[in-house]
């Protein structure tokens, strides 16, 4: 006779543990239900369109560009994106000489406030390992993003204490485009550095 694996225990213990921790935090006055619900709603509503609007603004407004590089959190707030209680946001600018790739080698730390939930591949062990070991090969084989040999590729570790997003280069052929049109072109991967925007 075979014994079925005890997945039922895992499925019921997770939510039960979560409820117990929540109750304890509330009992100790560290959080309340309303705060938790607000935070959940904020995270659920965050999406890559928010980061894309920041990128488009930085491409068209020099003052905003400077603010974004100096303080990503303030730049997000200036676009109406709620950042209260979120880890600080840093913005890395790609240039003709320097390309950035963001990874969380430990788990899945992602600039959720400005991009929403991370894509499935971002959390995979394969991405996290190869981003460090062979970033050029990873980008070329999985995303067809070829970083020329003359361009420095800098891999940046996102952590629980600090989140990074990439400010990609504005592609040629977008001269005269307004912010909305530019923002619509920017994809999630462009802001992590796995792809580059194309007009
Ligand atoms: Fe993480």
pLDDT tens digits for 115-162?
999 999 999 999 999 999 999 999 999 999 999 999 999 999 999 899
Name the band, by pLDDT with cuts 50, 70 and 90, for residue 8: low
User: Is 60 exceeded by the pLDDT of residue 85?
Assistant: yes
Residue 145 within a domain: yes
For residues 21 and 64, membership in a common domain is answered with no
For residues 152 and 112, membership in a common domain is answered with yes
Quick one: CA dihedral 52, 120, 17, 13, positive or negative? positive
- The pLDDT score that the predictor gives to residue 187 is 98
The domain tally of the chain equals 2
Cβ–Cβ under 8 Å, residues 157 and 105 = yes
Residue 1 within a domain: no
- The pLDDT score that the predictor gives to residue 9 is 53
Range of the domain at 20: 7-43
For residues 30 and 71, membership in a common domain is answered with no
Q: How far is the CA of 188 from the centre of ligand 1 (A)?
A: 18
User: What are 10-30's pLDDT values in tens digits?
Assistant: 556 888 898 899 899 999 999
Q: How far is the CA of 11 from the centre of ligand 1 (A)?
A: 23
Q: How far is the CA of 28 from the centre of ligand 1 (A)?
A: 27
Residue 198 within a domain: no
Residue 187 within a domain: yes
Q: How far is the CA of 161 from the centre of ligand 1 (A)?
A: 9
Q: How far is the CA of 194 from the centre of ligand 1 (A)?
A: 17
For residues 69 and 132, membership in a common domain is answered with yes
Quick one: CA dihedral 107, 155, 95, 170, positive or negative? negative
For residues 148 and 177, membership in a common domain is answered with yes
> For the domain that residue 87 is a member of, what is the CATH number?
3.90.330.10
Collect contacts of 76-81 with beta carbons under 8 A, ≥24 apart: 76/50, 76/113, 76/114, 79/50, 79/53, 79/54, 81/46, 81/50, 81/54, 81/113, 81/114
User: What are 48-84's pLDDT values in tens digits?
Assistant: 999 999 999 999 999 999 999 999 999 999 999 999 8
For residues 64 and 157, membership in a common domain is answered with yes
Residue 2 within a domain: no
Q: What is the mean pLDDT of residues 157-177?
A: 96
Distance (Å, rounded) from C-alpha 144 to C-alpha 50? 25
User: What are 86-111's pLDDT values in tens digits?
Assistant: 999 999 999 999 999 999 999 999 99
Name the band, by pLDDT with cuts 50, 70 and 90, for residue 3: low
For residues 60 and 29, membership in a common domain is answered with no
Residue 101 within a domain: yes
For residues 32 and 101, membership in a common domain is answered with no
- The catalytic site residues sit at 104, 107-109
For residues 86 and 25, membership in a common domain is answered with no
- The pLDDT score that the predictor gives to residue 6 is 54
For residues 151 and 172, membership in a common domain is answered with yes
Residue 71 within a domain: yes
For residues 30 and 92, membership in a common domain is answered with no
Residue 197 within a domain: no
For residues 91 and 129, membership in a common domain is answered with yes
User: Is 80 exceeded by the pLDDT of residue 4?
Assistant: no
Distances (CA, A) of 125 to 45, 111, 121, 168: 27, 19, 8, 25
Cβ–Cβ under 8 Å, residues 136 and 161 = no
- The pLDDT score that the predictor gives to residue 14 is 82
């Amino acid at each position: 006779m075979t014994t079925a694996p005890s997945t039922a225990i895992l499925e019921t213990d997770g939510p039960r543990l979560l409820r117990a921790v929540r109750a304890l935090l509330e009992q100790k006055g560290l959080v309340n239900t309303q705060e938790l619900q607000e935070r959940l709603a904020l995270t659920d509503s965050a999406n890559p369109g928010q980061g894309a609007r920041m990128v488009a603004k930085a491409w068209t407004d020099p003052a905003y560009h400077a603010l974004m590089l100096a303080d990503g959190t303030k730049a997000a707030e200036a676009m109406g994106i709620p950042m209260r209680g979120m880890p600080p946001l840093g913005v890395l600018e790609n240039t003709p000489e320097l390309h950035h790739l963001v990874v969380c080698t430990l788990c899945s730390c992602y600039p959720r406030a400005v991009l929403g939930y991370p894509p499935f591949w971002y959390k995979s062990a394969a991405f996290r390992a190869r981003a460090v070991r062979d970033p050029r090969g990873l980008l070329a084989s999985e995303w067809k993003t070829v970083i020329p040999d003359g361009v420095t590729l800098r891999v940046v570790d996102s952590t629980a204490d600090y989140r990074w997003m990439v400010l990609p280069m504005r592609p040629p052929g977008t001269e005269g485009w307004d912010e909305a049109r530019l923002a619509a072109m920017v994809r999630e991967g462009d802001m992590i550095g796995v792809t580059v925007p194309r007009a």
